[in-house]
Amino acid sequence: MSSNAPSPRLLLLWDVDHTLIETRGVGFAIYQRAFPAATGQPLTELAKVSGRTELDIMRETLRINGIDPSDEAVNQLATALIQGYEDARDELASRGRALPGAHDTLAALSENSAFFQTLLTGNLREVARIKLEVFGLDGFLDLEAGAYGDDHQERTELVVIAQQRASERAGVEFTNDATVLIGDTPNDVAAALTAGVQVIGVATGKTSLHELRDAGATWAVEQASGVLETLTSTRSS
């Protein structure tokens, strides 16, 4: 670590859906269009998506629709999903939204050199990029340092991948003590705890503050602005 690097540095790993943005049904609509484009048959059932990686979701979705989840089939579906989001930018902008406090929180944290922000999301890398670009959030995070749903099927493994990439990008070793995962589901909390990092649960999804605390979140907040308050108060205490 360079002696000139700010110390301490804290790595912030943001989830996307229901933590920073909501697609408000656009994501499911895109899946309904992408699935037949990739497989030649309609989507009859979508696997549960909350807190899971896209690799996991795609493989189960193919399986429950009677298609062998081979690498080729998964890759074809991933390609169709990425194109689907690219084609639906205007639809996503008009129907979806950035969640309250997300923009201002990311902006404020990006101005503090003590924090290094990137993503840890179950989304495919290109889908995550499109979502953040649509809502003007991409400029506050180093997307190259993130870990995505096409990097590994298991969410816990994404923590290590993001730490390694971010450490290389920032020239700072981000240990577990210097890493905070931010997400809205019990799966986010479980991934963080299994990986040995701290976690802020954000109750902007389907999981309440109480449930996030019960799941083991280090902190639980109502919305993204609470993340800023938590991090600044923790560092000043």
pLDDT for 237 equals 55
Nearest alpha-carbon partner for 73 in 45, 118, 41, 116: 41
Mapped onto helix, strand or coil, the DSSP state of residue 57 is helix
Q: Which domain holds residue 143?
A: 10-22+97-236
pLDDT tens readout for residues 24-72? 999 999 999 999 999 999 999 999 999 999 999 999 999 999 999 999 9
Neighbour tally for 93: CB within 10 Å: 14
Residues near 100 by beta carbon (within 8 Å), at least 6 away in sequence: 204, 223, 224, 225
Q: Total structural domains in the chain?
A: 2
CATH number at residue 113: 3.40.50.1000
Write down which residue in 94, 118, 138 finishes a domain. 94
Neighbour tally for 162: CB within 10 Å: 26
Q: CA-to-CA distance for 164 and 179, rounded, in angstroms?
A: 11
Judge whether 198 lies within some domain.
yes
Q: Let me know whether 101 and 163 are in one domain.
A: yes
CA distances for 9 relative to 15, 112, 141, 165, angstroms: 19, 10, 15, 15
CA triple 216-47-55, angle to 5 deg: 75
Write down the pTM of the prediction.
0.95
Q: Let me know whether 60 and 123 are in one domain.
A: no
Q: Let me know whether 142 and 43 are in one domain.
A: no
Assess contact for 78 and 124: CB atoms under 8 A. yes
Q: Let me know whether 61 and 101 are in one domain.
A: no
Q: Let me know whether 50 and 145 are in one domain.
A: no
Write down which residue in 67, 94, 121 finishes a domain. 94
pLDDT for 234 equals 75
Judge whether 121 lies within some domain.
yes
Judge whether 3 lies within some domain.
no
Write down which residue in 94, 109, 133 finishes a domain. 94
Mean pLDDT over each residue of the chain, to the nearest integer = 95
Q: Let me know whether 159 and 223 are in one domain.
A: yes
Q: Let me know whether 130 and 50 are in one domain.
A: no
